Structure 1
Amino acid sequence: MKFLLYSINYAPELTGIGKYNGELAPMLADNNLATYVLTAPPYYPEWQIKGDFHNSYSLSEGDNGVTIYRCPLYVPAKVTTLKRLVHLSSFAITSAFRLFSLWRLKPDVLFLVQPTLFCAPFALLFCKLRGTKSILHIQDYEIDAMFGLGLGQSGFIKKTVKGIENWLMSKFDVVSSISYSMLDNARKKGVPEEKLLFFPNWADTHFVHPDVDASSLRWEWGFTADDKIVLYSGNLGQKQGLEIVLDAALAFKDQPHIKFVIIGSGAYRDTLEQMASEKGISTIQFKPLQPWELVPQILVMADVHLVVQKKGVADAVLPSKLTNILAAGGHALVTAEEDTELGKISALYPGIYQLVEPENPAAFIQGLSALLAQDTRATNQIARHYAVENINKDKVINRFIQNLEQITKSGSLKNV
């Protein structure tokens, strides 16, 4: 079977969609699928082209058996709504030329990852002409996220854009997503039940586990054994609503043993650092993204993990960082409404994490205080058990491979 992964994000990006794509493709290749990737140069979350990569067309053969085709795109130094639209559109255009140059490749399956939906028209046309099965995998409902942040509120524009989105989604052979709530959203957008596939994000529960010794890293980063570490790690973007973390740090300023650490890069980092400085917060550290090999130590070192989102975003964007927090048996404070996927998991597995209302500083601080009062050095066994049983990397991807075989043989998801 020939599998073509089509996505704007790929390894060596360390966070979000690029990380998952970078793990999926090599594992498919290890299972004897001829695997190809159509992507952009790595740029996220710093919003600049990484290292030795060039913003141009390129072809590389990975040591893991994956062939990678990269296409240039516009990467804004400062992200605005308009610039982000140009950014997504630029990749859709440059990758479309590269996609049709792969005509002779004749993939059996094209797996388009959203974002960006801008690539969907070209992907569907290619699949229709080439006889390739098309899968739209939704990591992020970019249209819902845009409207959830209050952008483009004109009734006519909103109706038109959503109509186009629904039509495009309905044309794919299969629509997969990372949560049941997001699949429910696809149903509401008109995708037939027989086309829906659950394909969650995963965690490497063998690599990330609670038994890692993080004492040396704690010492290296200047923390004492008595310090309580509150960690946010991931993209530092405006949609996260991270101002609430600064509010919490300010609320605990008279307890200097409670330390806050923000790890990551993104368009909003400079603003957050400036705000922290203006508030006179001395118990907060900002650090860049860390090497992947340090992730288990970082996760185990933290007493409390923060998963922060704004209202209206939780069902549109399921936070990928949570999978590794659960694998590490971490104690997490999660902002989400009760009727979201995160809310439903919290209700089904009491104690897996603490749920608080988004954009409510008082509730956030109260929830954090309650977690800090617990024995946060002990493993959260509920979280760890959930990770091993439900989001183990090997289990998730092996099940997906079985789904692919069914789709290519019968053309449907029946009996999957």
Structure 2
Amino acid sequence: MNLFLYSLNYAPEKTGIGKYNGEMCEAISDIYGYSVTALVAPPYYPNWEVEHSYSSFLYKSENINEVKVIRSPLYVPSKVTTFKRLLHLSTFSVSSSIALLIKFIKNKPDVIFLVQPTLFCAPATLLFSKLFGVKTILHIQDFEVDAMFGLGMVSEGKITKIVRRTESWLMKKFDVVSSISYSMLENAERKGVDKSKLLFFPNWADTSFVTPDTDGSALRKEWGFAETDKVVLYAGNIGQKQGLEIVIEAAKSFEGDKNVKFVFVGAGAYVDILKRLAKVSNLDNVYFKPLQDWEDVPAMLSMADVHLVVQKKGAADAVLPSKLTNILSAGGHALVTAEESTELGKIEQANSGIYTRVEPENTKDFIAGLKAVFATDTSKPNMIARNYALKNLDINNIIERFVSDIDKLVKGKDND
């Protein structure tokens, strides 16, 4: 079987879609013997800066753990605006479509797996797949159109209607549309995708590596925190869609409690703004750390008392936070901002105690939610979260099911 991944992001990116793409491709190649090729951008996320050993302007081929990786050039803005973001996506779609055509001519795959974002690559994917007789899967990690409009990055109007109709038309042309949550699949169905084409393919956790048994005390000590401190951790991409200003506001309210420490671990377009907000407010209970290597992630998760999963209104079902899978696997005590009607709200209702949920962009509720988590015994793992991860998020089970679905697609059988 020959699988072709088409996506912006790939390893060695440490977080988000790139991390999942890398793990998926390597597992499918190593365990199931597939021939896997990945057409991706040079690693740039979440710093929005291309790593020094790669180029923004040149194609590059490499082999990473038996996966053939083709890097396609693109524009990477140092400061992300709506226009620059669109230019960023457009340049990748143009440059990568050339590499895609060459690959299809030389050795066509059985299946092409396009990851959204970016939908900009869908036209070339559909055109070449039709010409060469290749099965297509659109995998939705983020509904980028919904995120753009839902976060107010683009105002509603005639252009909005055109964009939404184009999105719907493109999605309906794929053989299969998969996504990481049931709410996102329902959204795809509302956009016109036939229910028979929908496939649940969630993000996962390595539940044998990220466990509640990891000792994070050494890292806690290294970072200067005492055993009696309450460490509130946000780890991952630091971008506009998170609405992380609310964490700074919460830190202000806890200034009188010297044992509460707020820690941001990660990088992104918004990190400098948060640092400036903390500095202007003279906060000495807010700390910033760089992204951690994967082997250090279990210890980082273990040392925290509270984990933050923060998003703005309207984002929860457009961009389901990938960081939550490892928090649950570690048995972490999480505070999640999401509307009750979203997937995150439904998970909380079905699994009482899995995390504490508050409405997004409500500072008063956010602070009350933090106090509620502090009132629990955070020194012990949250076994409701851990058991949920073992049952629903194990990487081996999810990949095995996905490979079975690919086989059915290629052989022309109906998906379950």
TM-score interval, smaller chain: over 0.9
Offset of 1:149 from its aligned partner? 1.0
- Choose which of 248, 253, 274 in structure 2 pairs with 1:246: 248
Check whether the contact 2:149–2:156 (CA below 8 A) recurs between aligned residues: no
1:75-118 per-position Cα deviation (integer Å, ceiling 9, x unaligned)? 00110000000000000000000000102211000000000000
Q: Secondary structure at the match of 1:42?
A: coil
CA–CA distance in 2 between the matches of 1:332 and 1:409?
Answer: 42
Of 179, 199, 202, which residue of structure 2 is paired with 1:200? Answer: 202
CA distance in 2, matches of 1:214, 1:265: 22
Deviations 1:155-184 (A, max 9, x none): 211110000000000000000000000000
Question: What is the rounded CA distance, in whole Å, between the counterparts of 2:241 and 2:403 in structure 1?
Answer: 33
The 5-angstrom pairing of residues 157-236 of structure 1 reads 157-236=159-238
Instruction: Give 1:52 shift.
Output: 1.2
CA apart distance, 1:215: 1.1
Distance 1:289 1:355 in 2: 25
Question: Within 1, Cα distance between the matches of 2:153 and 2:41?
Answer: 26
Separation in structure 2 between the aligned mates of residue 57 and residue 194 of structure 1, nearest angstrom: 38
1:73 aligns with 2:74: yes
Match of 1:57 in 2: 59
Instruction: Please show how residues 9-24 of structure 1 align to structure 2 within 5 Å.
Output: 9-24=9-24
**Deviation per CA, 1:1-21, whole angstroms, max 9, x where unpaired?**
100000000000011100000
Distance 1:318 1:13 in 2: 19
* Structure 1 SS opposite 2:88: helix
Contact 2:26-2:66 at 8 Å conserved across structures: yes
Cα deviation for residue 153 of structure 1 reads: 2.0
Gaps spanning 5+ residues in structure 1: where?
A: none
Deviation of residue 411 (structure 1)?
Answer: 5.2
Match of 1:127 in 2: 129
Residue identity matched to 2:13 = E
Please state how far the C-alpha of 1:152 moved relative to its aligned partner. Answer: 2.5
Could you tell me which residue of structure 1 aligns to residue 337 of structure 2?
A: 335
Structure 2 residue matching 1:338: 3-state secondary structure = coil
Q: Distance in 2 between matches of 1:410 and 1:114?
A: 24
1:377 maps to which residue? 379
CA distance in 2, matches of 1:153, 1:225: 48
AA at the equivalent of 2:123: P
CA distance in 2, matches of 1:13, 1:156: 37
**One-letter amino acid matched to 1:261:** V
Matched ranges for 1:12-411 at <5 A: 12-30=12-30, 31-55=32-56, 56-62=58-64, 64-102=65-103, 103-410=105-412
Identity within the alignment, %:
59
TM-score (norm 1): 0.98
**C-alpha distance in structure 2 between counterparts of 1:308 and 1:164, whole Å:** 30
Inter-partner Cα distance in structure 2 for 1:153 and 1:223: 44
Aligned AA (2:20): Y
Find the aligned partners of 1:226 and 1:307 in 2 and give their Cα distance. 23
Q: Distance in 1 between matches of 2:397 and 2:156?
A: 44
CA–CA distance in 2 between the matches of 1:412 and 1:234? 37
Q: What are the Cα deviations for residues 327-377 of structure 1, in whole angstroms up to 9, with x where unaligned?
A: 000000000000000000000000000000000000000000110121101
Q: 1:411 to 1:128 in 2, by over 3 A?
A: farther
Give the deviation of 1:186 after TM superposition: 0.3
Q: 2:3 — aligned with what?
A: 3
- Is contact 2:48–2:268 with CA below 8 Å preserved after alignment? yes
Unaligned 5+ segments in structure 2 are: none
Q: Deviations over 1:281-340 (max 9, x none)?
A: 101100111111110000010000000000000010100000000000000000000000
* Matched AA of 2:66: G
Shift of 1:27: 0.4
1:48-68 CA-partner distances (Å, limit 9, x unpaired)? 101312221011122x21100
Q: TM-score, normalised by structure 2?
A: 0.98
In the alignment of these two chains, the number of paired residues is 413
